Chains A and B, each alone.
Chain A
Amino acid sequence: MLKYLKEEGLMGARLPLLLCPGCGHGQVLNYTLNAVDRLIKEDKIAKEKFLFISGVGCSSRLTSHYLNFDSGWTMHGRAVAVATGALLANPEFRVVVFTGDGDVASIGGNHFIHACRRNMDLTIVCMNNGLYGMTGGQQAPTSPRDMITTTTPYGNTEEAFDLCQMAEVSGASYVARWTTAHPHQVIKAIMKGIRKKGTAFIEILSQCPVHRKEEPAEMLAAYKRITIPVAKAKEGDKEKILVGEFCDHDKPDWNASYQRVIDRYKSKDV
């Protein structure tokens, strides 16, 4: 497996990753490559049909620098917009957007909402570590209340964005949230998201041990402790973070709707 990852999935000569020790983004890259590998083997999707797009940030360094797939490295927050354009030009592509919380939630928030609304056939993998890691650990829109960051040294006073709820109400086909401590669930969610027609949004809570000043293994254990699956959640579990699949709809994506318009136009013989 690792031989495959190094020689087929990754540009082995560029390793090691530039990320800090214990960073969750490397784990997400590992899970994604496993998911893509299974899709290539099970669904017989050609390797050339995958396209990875990323913006700017820790998580977005992963695609074009290390992946041995077609990939694009775009402006800050515009990953979803560029992916939309790439998908319109090549509707048969399986476009995967690698993005972070600062990328998709703050500067690229509108692109993200409207991609969900249009139901573009994208798979958005959002690595949420709750702060801006690359610039020094500042407060982000996804920082939970009372979190200590470099710009909120006495605790964050704002509420965090719930990205999964935002994607769901905006109209995404598939929305799921997992953490880096749930490897097999993340792999299944990414496989399902790539197979899904329409926008699939997968939020993965990822640890930033350097800026949170904690041990990576302890943070993984904490993720298991503070999360609860949606199916098992009761009324009293409001303090815990819900993980799991939030919605899974079958509705036409943008390309299917556009094809319908073309067919209707042709049938009128104008």
Chain B
Amino acid sequence: MKPMPRLWIDERYCKGCLICVEVCPTNAIASSNTINARGYVIPIEQDMGNCKVCSLCELMCPDFAIAIETNTTK
């Protein structure tokens, strides 16, 4: 079975612009109800089985707050 990629979100850096949610082509990320210490709504992983590891969320995050980890790289 293919290992599922894991989403890593740094709540300290996220500013809740939700660009990652919009650019994700497979809807693997969604907006959550969680609010971080700065008062921003942070994204959450929704269905990581769909994730194709295109890394658009990691590339287009303005605040370096999101990363995709795959088990194969370790």
Contact = CB atoms under 8 A, between A and B. Distances in A.
Dominant SS at the B interface?
loop
A24 B59 CA distance: 12
B38 to A, nearest CB: 8
Interface in B19-46: 19, 21-23, 40
A26 B8 CA distance: 18
A31 B59 contact: yes
Contacts, number: 71
Interface string A1-34: 1100110001000011101111111110111001
Contact of B60 (A21, A27, A221): A27
A216 to B, nearest CB: 5
A23 B64 CA distance: 12
Contacts of A23: 62
Interface residues of A, number: 28
A216 B63 CA distance: 13
Contacts of B19: 22, 27, 216-217, 220
A209 interface: yes
Contacts of A141: none
Most buried by A among B15, B21, B59, B64: B64
A183 interface: yes
A1 B55 contact: yes
A215 B14 CA distance: 16
A17 B62 contact: yes
27 contacts: A1-B55, A1-B58, A1-B67, A2-B58, A5-B64, A6-B64, A15-B13, A17-B62, A17-B63, A19-B63, A21-B16, A22-B19, A22-B62, A24-B62, A27-B19, A27-B60, A30-B61, A30-B62, A30-B64, A31-B59, A183-B59, A209-B17, A216-B17, A217-B19, A217-B23, A220-B22, A220-B60
Interface of A: 1-2, 5-6, 10, 15-17, 19-27, 29-31, 34, 180, 183, 209, 216-217, 220-221
